[in-house]
Amino acid sequence: MAFNAIYNRWPGSGSSLLLGCLLCFAFIPSRAQNLVPNPSFELRDSCLEVNTAYTEETGPLGWFSAGGTGDYFMSCIPYGGFNGVPLSSWAFQYPQEGEAFVGVITYDWAQGYREYFMVELSEPLTIGHTYYVSMYASPTWGGPQPQMWLATSHVGMLFTTQPRTWQSGQSWPTGSNAAHVYHPWIIADTMDWTLVSGSVIADSAYRYVMIGNHFNNANTDTLHLDYYPWNPLAHTLIDNVCVSVNPDGCPLSLGVSGSGLEAAVLYPNPARVALGLSGVPSNTRVVIRDALGRLLWLQDGVDGAWQQDIRVWARGSYVLRLEWQGRSRTFKFVLIE
């Protein structure tokens, strides 16, 4: 399958009314609509604090575990509960849409494990047709019991012709280094949702879509949100998954032709005295946050080149985000002595 992917961020919508019914969520009659059943994980079998492998009939209806015991976060869980919304054991995050979302391990330093959720599309992709796909992602962070303390790159979507159902006791996947649409940069914004989107030309009659990080540790970049004395793990929240044959069917799919932000270059990295940018499109916003997501710098109207004296900044890891015409690009950089 050929693909032409771009990546962006839209602010989360917080919550919305639940539309649909248990009998109709799997049948979407118009090809202009989203081919992903239960795309925001609103329809469920029950409201339980649980950590388990899911089938199509448990957890978010239609979705199932394709690797590991991915997590299902719901606002019906008491505030601060294991998989509650907005506060769970591991994260504080409002849904990008509706009242629920899922989360999967996207990096495991010790064993390279990955977790995935998967769903059967309402109809197979047609060979030779172009499809527009997207989903929103956010690093898991902010809960009272942090087990995962990394953010990662390469979160995305893989289409398959057959299901890859995973059950407890089976070997955990470690990433096949192939995905049809993915985010090549670290998704580090712990407060808002990052949009991963792209266009796909179907080369098979794909029936399923699988979400998570499909790349192994050697091909995944990471950012430390903090440091703890246990195995470095990354866990990523995902919401509002979309596949449509209509270019207006998924968020920002009209922009899949490319982004002027791709020409931007950050230098030097690591840095000691000054940080610079080149190739920045006109009227770009520059936002810098530290490893905990705290805002340190914001500047509008950057054009071409930009430079900032960072000699008095604390040494450590930072994230710089460029925002331009509704699109964004994120860089990780490090300040050293």
pLDDT in tens, 110-162: 999 999 999 999 999 999 999 999 999 999 998 998 889 898 999 999 999 99
Question: Distance (Å, rounded) from C-alpha 220 to C-alpha 115?
Answer: 15
Whether 135 and 270 map to the same domain: the answer is no
Question: Distance (Å, rounded) from C-alpha 251 to C-alpha 246?
Answer: 11
Domain boundary among 206, 238, 256: 256
Whether 50 and 94 map to the same domain: the answer is yes
Whether 187 and 330 map to the same domain: the answer is no
pLDDT at 255: 40
CA distances from 239 to 104, 216, 231, 280, 297 (A): 11, 22, 26, 30, 28
Whether 189 and 324 map to the same domain: the answer is no
Whether 105 and 202 map to the same domain: the answer is yes
Whether 99 and 149 map to the same domain: the answer is yes
Strands (E), 34-178: 63-67, 71-74, 100-108, 116-120, 130-139, 150-152, 155-160
Whether 86 and 182 map to the same domain: the answer is yes
Whether 266 and 291 map to the same domain: the answer is yes
| DSSP H or E run through 216 | none
Whether 206 and 171 map to the same domain: the answer is yes
Q: What is the CATH number of the domain that holds 325?
A: 2.60.40.3080
Domain boundary among 190, 221, 256: 256
Whether 159 and 265 map to the same domain: the answer is no
Q: What is the CATH number of the domain that holds 144?
A: 2.60.120.260
The angle formed by the CA atoms of residues 104, 180 and 203, to the nearest 5 degrees, is 140
Counted domains in the chain: 2
Q: What are phi and psi of 157, to 5 degrees?
A: -135, 140
pLDDT at 251: 85
Question: Distance (Å, rounded) from C-alpha 177 to C-alpha 154?
Answer: 10
pLDDT in tens, 57-85: 999 999 999 999 999 999 999 999 999 99
pLDDT at 169: 87
Domain boundary among 206, 235, 256: 256
pLDDT at 93: 94
Burial label, 207 (beta-carbon count in 10 A; 0-12, 13-18, 19+): middle
Question: Distance (Å, rounded) from C-alpha 42 to C-alpha 24?
Answer: 13
pLDDT at 125: 97
pLDDT at 3: 35
Domain hosting residue 246, numbered range: 1-256
Give me the residues of the chain with pLDDT under 70, please: 1-32, 252-259
Beta strand pairing call for 71-74 and 222-224: unpaired
User: Could you give the 3-state DSSP secondary structure of residue 255?
Assistant: helix
Whether 87 and 195 map to the same domain: the answer is yes
- Bridge partners (DSSP) listed for residue 155: 213
Whether 91 and 193 map to the same domain: the answer is yes
